[in-house]
């Protein structure tokens, strides 16, 4: 009886292993097709430009204005034009002005943590 169970188990395992190894992938290939009739497309990294001190100061001032308005929930009308389209997704201007829905607690907590860690002296966040 034990030999029969051991044989059946071995056959089952070998069958599954054989299917995995020898059956071709039936899904879509993740390889990019090569078109020999077109010119090769070359990706070049865009040139980066360092921000000037005035640009950095303006960005920090804008962020401070947004954080003080939307996060503290005072003068919410000041933060509406500064909010990104993603932040406004599903929220009307009237909803934004209601203190309870300007930024929900989880989003506010996450963004505030990111804002605080990016402003540590010496890490390049506010230099």
The count of domains in the chain is: 1
Read off the pLDDT of each residue in 21-49 and give the average, rounded to a whole number: 77
In Å, what is the CA distance from 118 to each residue of 44, 60, 65, 80? Answer: 29, 11, 16, 22
DSSP classification of residue 38: S
pLDDT digits (tens, 9 = 90+) for 70-81: 777 778 888 888
Residue of higher predicted confidence among 48 and 110 = 48
Mean pLDDT, the chain, whole residue set: 76
- Interval 36-62 mean pLDDT: 88
For the stretch 66-107, pLDDT in tens is 888 877 777 888 888 888 888 787 778 888 887 555 455 555
* 80 lies in some domain: yes
State percent of the chain over pLDDT 70.
Answer: 70
Asked if residue 79 belongs to a domain, the reply is: yes
Q: Does the pLDDT of residue 126 top 50, yes or no?
A: no
pTM over 0.85: no
Provide the domain limits for residue 102: 53-118
Does 67 fall in a domain?
Answer: yes
Task: With CA atoms as reference, report the closest residue to 71 among 29, 30, 115.
Answer: 115
């Amino acid at each position: 009886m034990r030999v029969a169970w051991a044989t059946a188990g071995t056959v089952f395992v070998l069958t599954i292993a054989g299917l995995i190894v020898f059956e071709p992938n039936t899904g879509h290939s993740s390889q990019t097709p090569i078109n020999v009739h077109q010119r090769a497309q070359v990706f070049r990294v865009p040139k980066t430009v360092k921000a000037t001190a005035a640009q950095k100061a303006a960005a920090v001032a804008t962020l401070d204005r947004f954080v003080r308005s939307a996060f503290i929930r005072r003068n919410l009308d000041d933060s509406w034009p500064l909010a990104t389209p993603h932040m406004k997704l599903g929220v009307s201007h009237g909803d934004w002005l209601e203190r309870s829905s300007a930024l929900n607690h989880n989003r506010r907590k996450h963004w505030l943590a990111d804002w605080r860690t990016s402003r540590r002296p010496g890490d390049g966040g506010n230099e």
